[in-house]
Structure formats: structure tokens, C-alpha cells
Amino acid sequence: MKLNFRYLVILIGGLLINCCTSSKTVTSKVQIKQLEELVASKSFQIDSDWAMPLMTNSMNTLSNAGLLPVGSTGSQISLIGNSNFLKVEVDTIAAYLPYYGERQMGAGYSINTNAIQFKGIPKNYEVTDDEKTQSKKINFNINNKTESFRVFITISPNLSSNITVNSSQRFSIQYRGNAEPLLSVK
């Protein structure tokens, strides 16, 4: 009986030690350098695979009615196969991001408001380092003809990205995807 008890103690001890060890992701210096060069170049594009709107009663109703793309829920919608981008080219930022969510205010009848769209020179463009995750955070304000947007972008060393868009007329939404350098045509 003592022999089995010893094995049990060793097994539990091993599990506790295994659970307590850090699962910190190791990021290579090459990935960090690649991320720094990408953000410093101000020449990259982010294509998103997922949109994550706020889960409201309206989004829940759409989800329950089966009106969202296959594999989607009211809080996570697949964008695979849908055109979308956020493009940074020197001083100009352009975006076309499909919008799922609730509008807080009307935008008029003659304006196509199915997506978050803007193109122009942003205000308050700021890049900061997140030392803990070794990612880059980019924040800026930008307007189109009818709305103002506050955009928060996080790009990780593996070039995965998260975009959060706060609008003057819509509930906020997040997009998850990947960043890649723009190819320059010479």
C-alpha cells in the first residue's frame, strides 16, 4: 500500500510542478526585428479573418436566426472570403472593414454604410512598444465624410494583429488577422 501511495505523491507533485511552470512564448530576435522594420516602414497591410462585434441582443437575434456566415457566432464572425483591409502607406491610412453591429446614429440615405471605410492622413498617430508581449501598438484618429474613428492596432512579433475601431456612430468592433509588408512597385 505504501508503494502505491508514493507513486501517487510523485504523480501529484509532478503535475503541480508542470502546472506551475511558465508557458511564456519564446519570440525570436528575427521576429522582433521584422516587426520593428514593418512598423517603422509605414508600408504594410492588415487582412482580417475574424470580426468580433459587441454581443448585443440584436447580434444574438441575427445569430439565432442563422443570418451570419457559416462557422460564425454573434460575437465572432468569419471574414474569410470577404474583402477587407487596413493599409498603411507612409502618411496615408486606408481601410475597408465589414461592419457587424449596431449603429448608434443614422448616417443619411445616400451613403454606403455597410463597412467601416476611410482614407486619409490620420491625426495623433502614435506607435508604442509593449515590453511584456514584445508587440507594437499603433493608435490614431481618422475621419471620413460622416464619422470619426479612433483606431487601436496591436501587431505581435509573429505578425498576427488585432484592430479595435471605436466610431462616433457605431458600437465598437474588433478585427483579428495578420499584417504583411506592402510590395513596392519600382
Alpha helix positions (H), the chain: 2-20, 29-41, 57-64
For 22-48, how does the pLDDT look when each residue is reduced to its tens digit (9 = 90+)?
545 567 889 999 999 999 999 999 999
Q: Is residue 12 part of a domain?
A: no
Residue in this structure with the C-alpha cell 441575427, named with its chain if needed: 62
CA 179, distance to chain mean position in Å, is 10
Whole-Å CA distances, 31 to 38, 52, 156: 10, 27, 9
Q: Is there a domain that residue 23 lies in?
A: no
> Rg of the chain's alpha carbons, rounded to an integer?
22
Choose between 114 and 15: higher pLDDT.
114
Residue 14 domain-assigned (yes or no): no
Confirm whether 2 is domain-assigned. no
Banded model confidence at residue 6, pLDDT cuts 50, 70, 90: low
Say what the pLDDT of residue 72 is. Answer: 84
Picking from 58, 38, 67, the residue whose alpha carbon sits closest to that of residue 102 is: 58
pTM here is 0.80
Per the structure, the count of domains in the chain is 1
CATH of the domain at 137: 2.40.128.410
pLDDT attached to residue 173: 96
Q: 55 lies in a domain?
A: yes
How many Cα atoms within 13 Å fall on the side-chain side of residue 31? 15
Q: Summarize pLDDT for 113-166 with one digit per residue, the tens.
A: 689 999 999 999 999 999 999 999 999 999 998 899 999 999 999 999 999 999
Does residue 22 form part of some domain? no
* Residues 45-95: tens digit of each pLDDT: 999 999 999 888 888 887 788 888 788 888 899 999 889 999 999 999 999
Q: pLDDT band at residue 110, thresholds of 50, 70 and 90?
A: very low
In a domain, 8, yes or no: no
| Residue 18 in domain | no
Q: What's the domain range around 161?
A: 29-181
